[in-house]
Structure 1
Amino acid sequence: MRDVAQPAVAAPAYVVGSGRNATLSPGEIGSFLKFDPDGSGGLKPRVDVPTAQAVVDKDLSSTEAEPKDATFSFAGDAATVVPAVTGRTIDYQKTFAGLLDALGKQGDPTPPTTFTPPPVPPGGTRADPPPATGRAVNAVYTTTPPKVTTEALQAIGPATVIGEFQTTGFAADSGQNIKRVADQVNGATVKPGDTFSLNDFTGPREAAQGYVEAGIIEDGVPDRGVGGGISQFSTTLYNATYFAGLDEVEHKEHSYYISRYPAGREATVFDGVIDLKFRNDGTTPILIRTLWTPSSIKVQILGQKRYDVTSQTGNRTNPVPAGVKSLAGNPKCKPSKGVDGFTITDTRVLKDVKTGQTTSEPRTVRYNPEPQITC
């Protein structure tokens, strides 16, 4: 009582932050100063960190900042880099490590001087306060780097849209999932020589990650599943990389043809099983930009233009009749007319913008017949 408790609440104490201080009144100090058995018949003091943090947060939360990725600002098709912001949070365990010592010191009627940090250059880090004295401790800040750095975007150079694609026509619930995956992918950069994997980049796409149930087709029957609609985003992303001239590593078309997608030029995905991968085979980074609306999703690839890309789609050949499938015993059955299967070849033609040399990349796709469903 005499050596610890009474001195601790004899006067206010302070936490010196960046640009402002937090004042701890004697009553607030009493709320977080705790005593535990020391194992030898005595007591040892401690700071209850969550309680003390709640007190200090009222004054110093404004001195913290979430990290912000570097982005592009657009004027027409030209893009300029908006610098990243390094995140800054208070490590309260370290901040309060010296608070017990400070509470044992004599009260000073003069509060510590407010530390005003010097101006911070774009992308820089704010300076820390000088060492605190008396009944004060410094807030210990930790930095959190942004995922997309200023340097990463500056390395792209005078970026332009080198490939883009847009799809439309999705239900509201599928649109939620498309928006969620678009938000995750927006701003992703791919360094020269690196491979982008949609499954690896987003991780699991389940309810815990913000995805909802939406319509899917299971064995030709309409059904519901968490993450329905993601294939529309993967198709849009695939086509954007297609027209950007990036190196395809892995993609898989749907088993059945879906009329809102270009035949032979679409991609489905499934967690852990079917992926969309492409490689940045250029010499500068590229950035993925997504633009979502309630009725459309557009994906743009920004970087240094290397190719003029066109698509040459052949005729549909080897038709396979849809046939008829009865699902009379399935309560979810919904009759449909069915779609014939067919084979089609799409050829990507890349013309080097510097040399004029042309390269052709044909890909042949066979779509299974989607049977006519009777109930």
Structure 2
Amino acid sequence: MPENHDHRSGAEPSTERMRTDPERSGAAQPETSVEQTTRIPPVRADFDERTRPNLSGAAKPEAQQPAPESDAERTAQIAAVPGDFSTFRIGETQAIPQVGAQPGGWTAATPPPSDADKKRRSLIRAGIVAGAVVGALALLYIGDLVFTSGQVPRGTVVAGVDIGGLDETAAETELREKLGPGLNQPVELRVGDRTATINPEQAGLQMDWTATVQQAGSQPLNPFTRIGSLFSTHEVAPVSHGDREQLVQALEQVRPQLDRTAAEGTIRFEGAKPVAVDPVTGQSIDAQRATDEVLTHWADDVAVQVPFTEQPVSTTSEGVQRALREVAQPAVSAPVTVRGQGKDATLAPAAIAAALRFEPDGAGGLKSHVDLPAAIGSVEPQLADTIKPGKDAEIVLEGGAPVVRPSTDGIGVDWNKSFERLDEVLRRPQDRAVQAIYVHQPAKFTTDQANQMGIREVVGEFSTGGFEAASGVNIRRTAEQVNGAIIKPGEVFSLNGHTGPRGIPQGYVESGIIENGRPGRAVGGGISQFATTLYNASYFAGMQNVEHKAHSYYISRYPAGREATVFQSPNGASIIDVKFKNVAKSGIMITTRWTPSSITVQLWGTKQFDVSSQTGERTNPTQPQEKVVPPGEPCSPSKGSPGFSVNDTRTIKDVTTGQVRTETQHTVYNPQPIIHCGAPPAAPPAAPPG
């Protein structure tokens, strides 16, 4: 059987097996179909493009047309399919090797394509593909433009609600339905770990749905932006309307819930156990910046993060822990012994803890010190048998005359020196003891000093009366506190300063006062009567007036132009006071005498001044106005009284020098209003004519 040749090997077919060229010797003898399919058809050496059969089996027009062939003959004209048939591509006719082809499937007359040809054909094919893709994308882009015209850009989200792809009307409807119901709920504000809420209506917050949708803009023309919108979202802040001033006021109301006062680190004690307290930075909201944040985010589903200013602290957690290890824990690890004269006292760990104080040292840590009064209060009672208290001299009335009760010196402990090294001892694990240092303690007000005060006679006195029972209780309590007060030459006496707060714990009760031009009640009422009595006693003693204030309207039981009122705040701070200075050469002692109907104040010393008073005429009268207190409110009816102005002149003569001086005080009293409780009385009917 004839040998088959693989055209890929590059070998030429044998000339002995070649058939006679039909063009030269006439038509070829037909062969059986078996022979045609097992042998390579003879091919002329000068086979050219004109005689090469095409895939359809028809010869070129110029060539002599052979007789029609059977299917078997046509099949024999197609060369055997090469082994690398996988390289065959539809449309590439050159992929089918021709009979008698050169290596690579090309005839000697038609050389294979060059690399440039191949590259050119690849570029053409790539260009065709790219053009088709671009055309398809262009059609898709134009279609998308038309389809999405008038819609909100894809991926648009407002406060968690997706409105992308909707027209403006539908987008507004979507926002109203999804966000509207929650807009009446309180708006939560957050600053760190603190929260508060505000009422949106009271804060003046309103949503502008139309402006919110318009803020989202229109569909983008940039194709890349449009493609990106398929895979991303675009947050749009809701557009709100609100009165900034009204919103700021709402924020100020919740400021105490959001602000935090800075707290330095310290060490506190649970009994005798020290506990570190870490520092906490302060925070204060910025109301103006917070307003912007609330207007932007109040419709969000999460709390509005409110801007704030941080207030730093100087201590650190590490510094606090260091003080805990190095100071606090050693200090209470064991008691401290205080050695007295023949008796010892113990400063127990709990007492040490109660007396130990910590404060920032400026370098991140804490410095400590012992509160001496607290430490002394713990050990001094234990050493009471070794201490002899001193006693100051006293001046008292006995038999209607001042008598000096002598002073006595004492023996006590100089605690400042005794505890001078206590801080050092508290750091020791052992040898925890200090020595009590005893000293002689003379009286602060000695017998000689009392005798030299020259308190021997009354130099000023005044009495008033006519007070109600409740006022009498307060007047008596004040008189008890002031009785026996000593004023050294050059010193200033203050009524408010001497009594301190005048409240229920101090024995005062509710009584009548004057409030806003009409009668009222308050704890401590009636003290103005004692103040007036004291002022007049100092007036006639020749004391220098430092502070006093007349009532707003005249009270008939007091001398016109020569009376005083006093007032304290609820916490006991002095607002209106009676003060005078001792300008005499002797000391002054105040004594008081109370009865249910009167109060008398006397000033004792050595008489140095003769004092007289002259009250001028009342001028510039002003008529009272009528006031109606609504039903249900506390009310005390009053007939009122006119207002006026008056001058009081005090003449003071120094009996030791003969020098005389005068002082004039001008006082203006407002008219006391006529108070009606409820509706005013009906006007009398008009008299009939004639």
Q: Same fold (TM over 0.5)?
A: yes
The ranges of structure 1 where at least 4 consecutive aligned residues each deviate by more than 4 angstroms after the TM superposition are 63-69, 84-90, 140-146
- Flag the 1:154–1:333 CA change in 2: closer, same or farther, 3 A: same
Q: 1:361 aligns to what?
A: 663
Correspondent of 2:593 among 291, 294, 304:
291
- Flag the 1:204–1:244 CA change in 2: closer, same or farther, 3 A: same
- Flag the 1:166–1:142 CA change in 2: closer, same or farther, 3 A: farther
Q: Could you tell me which amino acid in structure 2 is paired with residue 300 of structure 1?
A: Q
Q: Could you tell me which amino acid in structure 2 is paired with residue 354 of structure 1?
A: T
SS at match of 1:273: strand
Q: 1:237 aligns to what?
A: 534
Deviation, 1:69, is 6.0
The more displaced of 65-74 and 161-170 is 65-74
> 5+ unaligned residues in a row in structure 2: which ranges?
1-340, 343-347, 351-376, 419-437, 569-573, 678-690
Matched, 1:153 2:455: no
SS at match of 1:278: strand
Correspondent of 2:403 among 72, 75, 80:
80
- Flag the 1:141–1:174 CA change in 2: closer, same or farther, 3 A: farther
1:319-354 CA-to-partner distances (Å, cap 9, x unmatched) read: 000121111335321221101101011111112212
SS at match of 1:300: strand
Q: Could you tell me which amino acid in structure 1 is paired with residue 499 of structure 2?
A: T
Contact 1:320-1:341 at 8 Å conserved across structures:
yes
Q: TM-score, normalised by structure 2?
A: 0.37
1:55-111 CA-to-partner distances (Å, cap 9, x unmatched) read: x99xx9xx99996761233555x5332335679999xxx9xxxxxxxxxxxxxxxxx
Q: 2:394 aligns to what?
A: 70
Contact 2:393-2:450 at 8 Å conserved across structures:
no
- Flag the 1:215–1:142 CA change in 2: closer, same or farther, 3 A: farther
Contact 1:291-1:299 at 8 Å conserved across structures:
yes
Q: Could you tell me which amino acid in structure 2 is paired with residue 209 of structure 1?
A: Q
Deviation, 1:239, is 0.5
SS at match of 2:576: coil
Contact 2:621-2:645 at 8 Å conserved across structures:
yes
CA RMSD of aligned residues (A): 3.8
SS at match of 2:459: strand
Q: Could you tell me which amino acid in structure 2 is paired with residue 82 of structure 1?
A: R
The separation in 2 between residues aligned to 1:270 and 1:366, in whole angstroms, is 19
Contact 1:70-1:85 at 8 Å conserved across structures:
no
- Flag the 1:361–1:143 CA change in 2: closer, same or farther, 3 A: same
The separation in 1 between residues aligned to 2:452 and 2:523, in whole angstroms, is 38
Matched, 1:326 2:650: no
Q: Could you tell me which amino acid in structure 2 is paired with residue 197 of structure 1?
A: S
Deviation, 1:219, is 2.1
The separation in 2 between residues aligned to 1:173 and 1:214, in whole angstroms, is 5
Q: 1:108 aligns to what?
A: none
Q: Could you tell me which amino acid in structure 2 is paired with residue 83 of structure 1?
A: P
Pick 1 or 2: higher relative contact order, CA cutoff 8 A, min separation 6: 1
The separation in 2 between residues aligned to 1:348 and 1:251, in whole angstroms, is 15
Q: Describe how 1:51-70 pairs up with structure 2 within 5 A.
A: 70=394
The more displaced of 303-312 and 213-222 is 213-222
Deviation, 1:374, is 1.1
Deviation, 1:287, is 1.1
Deviation, 1:262, is 0.7
> 5+ unaligned residues in a row in structure 1: which ranges?
1-15, 18-33, 37-48, 95-139
- Flag the 1:372–1:301 CA change in 2: closer, same or farther, 3 A: same
The separation in 2 between residues aligned to 1:218 and 1:70, in whole angstroms, is 41
Q: 2:579 aligns to what?
A: 277
Q: Could you tell me which amino acid in structure 2 is paired with residue 237 of structure 1?
A: L
Larger % of strand: which? 1
The separation in 1 between residues aligned to 2:625 and 2:605, in whole angstroms, is 47
SS at match of 1:184: helix
- Flag the 1:256–1:66 CA change in 2: closer, same or farther, 3 A: farther
- Flag the 1:373–1:145 CA change in 2: closer, same or farther, 3 A: farther
SS at match of 2:478: helix
SS at match of 1:264: coil
- Flag the 1:232–1:151 CA change in 2: closer, same or farther, 3 A: farther
Q: Could you tell me which amino acid in structure 1 is paired with residue 540 of structure 2?
A: F
Q: 2:675 aligns to what?
A: 373
The separation in 1 between residues aligned to 2:450 and 2:670, in whole angstroms, is 43
1:163-187 CA-to-partner distances (Å, cap 9, x unmatched) read: 0111112222212211221111111
Matched, 1:209 2:506: yes
Q: Could you tell me which amino acid in structure 1 is paired with residue 526 of structure 2?
A: G
Contact 1:71-1:84 at 8 Å conserved across structures:
no
Q: 2:19 aligns to what?
A: none
Q: 2:140 aligns to what?
A: none
Larger % of helix: which? 2
The separation in 1 between residues aligned to 2:479 and 2:411, in whole angstroms, is 26
The separation in 2 between residues aligned to 1:198 and 1:334, in whole angstroms, is 29
Q: 2:516 aligns to what?
A: 219
